[in-house]
Chains A and B, each alone.
Chain A
Amino acid sequence: MESPEYVQTSTAAAMTLKLFPGRFYRGAKLKALNLLLTYSDGCKASCAYCGLSSKRVPVSSKTFIRVDWPIFATDEIIARVNMYGSSLERVCISMITHRRAYEDTLTLVRRFHEETPLAISTLISPTLMKSREMVAELKRAGADMCGIAVDCATPELFDALRGRGMGGPHRWDHYWRVVDWAVESFGRYNVSVHLIVGLGESEREMLATIQRAYDAGAEAHLFAFYPEAGSPMQEHERPSVEQYRRVQLARYLIHRNLARYEDMRFSTRGEVVDFGVSRDVLEEVIEEGKAFMTSGCRGRDGEVACNRPYGNERPSEVLRNFPFLPNEEDKALIRQHLGLA
């Protein structure tokens, strides 16, 4: 059962397509289908935090980003998108680091483009991308947005957790080169850089990288680190919700051109102590609530489609990424997290 005939789907996607039982807490609706290429010999990378890592010790539950990713036939997924996918606006086809992944991604992009009404994102593995032309071909095949999972906020962390430190194939400079290629092909802000908060970086380092991505024409899409059982980082602590809130807020200010990284001030430990805007602006942004929603590729209405409900935490926990607009109770809690209550 390998791609392109088969794909892995997120638990949320499987539920939405009625392949898995279940519903979403607080009535959340999945707006983007996340699909992952799959091969019997797996991903050739060995990222320290990743559930797909070749270095992961076998565990009973093979999770990726916290949940199971069951395998289904691509034909069945496409048929069910057309039957049950009324809430869906977008599909994201994610490569893994495997020699066949690029060609198979092209095949899948073409199929979804021709056979479904969904807008298409590709989450590409830069290590497989040897030229600008390879990135451009994904656009021509039908994708309109492109994601690149840089994940780590600094070159040192990247090298330690994804590169030489883990005997892995990924290289920081090449990732950013591919970000530039993607912006050339897909256009400014139709490209995203995924970043995981809590891998060991400071808030200052994370925000410097968010600003770098934004200046390069890429949006930063945030994830909160969640330890995968059996991975080398299974004992690593999750970032505090306070840290995550500050990064979310600062990222939003950067993306809305309300502040730049250089306007912000940080403590000696690298925590944000001044967001570079007035208290009134902060209050307005918190009241609006969008800063704390999941960051991801946009849908037809220009709002985030890739909302990944409960992708970063158990539904019983404080939500890091809200898959819907936070309500008044949520916002009161957010103010507490930010020390602005």
Chain B
Amino acid sequence: MELKAKQVLKVKEYEFPLDRLYYKGRNAHLWVKREGESVLIGIDAFLAESAGYLNYLSITAEKLEKGEAFANVESAKFVSKLYSPVSGEILEINQEVIENPRLINESPYEAWIVRVKPASEDVLKQEDLLSDREKLTAWIEEEIARLEEE
């Protein structure tokens, strides 16, 4: 179901649907979206755009630990680890996205990477998981400024 415009935050050219949480940890830029008992994890629009067209995506962990690397993404000129926003068990890996990571560039909020069973309900109630418009806007503006300085 498409979100109404007011449910999508826009910061400069980047869009953030407000039906999910955004991980603010260092080198993070992952989203977490609840789906029943599990959560989906994917890359937000800022990282999808700033990394460039992704050529490779690999999952490097069997279990997620909050703040620990669990995947690598790579474009023609950039490579980065992805750090998990939650602890939990990987239930499913999106093979379509592994085989064609450019789906993330085309549609970052549809192209989830892993489906996870969170270790507890509390893992979704952390200060570094943002859904608040103001906090999200402030953080993305900082990130844009940081990128422009690089």
Contact = CB atoms under 8 A, between A and B. Distances in A.
A198 to B, nearest CB: 20
Given A27-B150, A316-B72, A22 B79 contact: no
Contacts of A22: 50-53, 75-78
Contacts of B78: 22-25, 315
A120 to B, nearest CB: 24
Interface in B57-110: 72, 74-79, 105
The CB with the most chain B CB atoms within 10 A, among A15, A23, A309, is that of A23
A21 B76 contact: no
A12 B77 contact: yes
Nearest to B48: A21
- Which interface class (under 10, 10 to 19, 20 to 34, 35 or more) fits A? 10 to 19
Given A27-B150, A316-B72, A21 B50 contact: yes
B145 interface: no
B147 interface: yes
A23 B51 contact: yes
Given A21-B105, A25-B79, A315 B74 contact: yes
Contacts of B50: 21-23
Nearest to A24: B77
A310 interface: yes
Interface string A302-339: 00000001100011100000000000000000000000
Contacts of A316: 56, 72, 74, 79
A68 interface: yes
A23 B76 contact: no
A67 B74 CA distance: 13
A11 B77 contact: yes
A309 B78 CA distance: 10
A20 interface: yes
Contact of A23 (B48, B72, B77, B105): B77
Given A22-B78, A23-B51, A66-B76, 8 more contacts: A11-B76, A22-B77, A23-B52, A23-B77, A67-B76, A314-B74, A315-B74, A315-B79
Interface of A: 11-12, 15, 20-25, 27-28, 66-68, 309-310, 314-316
The 6 A-B pairs of least Cβ separation, nearest first, read: A22-B52, A315-B79, A316-B79, A21-B49, A67-B76, A25-B78
17 contacts: A11-B52, A11-B76, A12-B77, A20-B53, A21-B48, A21-B53, A22-B51, A22-B75, A22-B78, A23-B150, A24-B78, A67-B76, A309-B77, A315-B74, A315-B75, A316-B56, A316-B74
Interface of B: 48-53, 56, 72, 74-79, 105, 147, 150
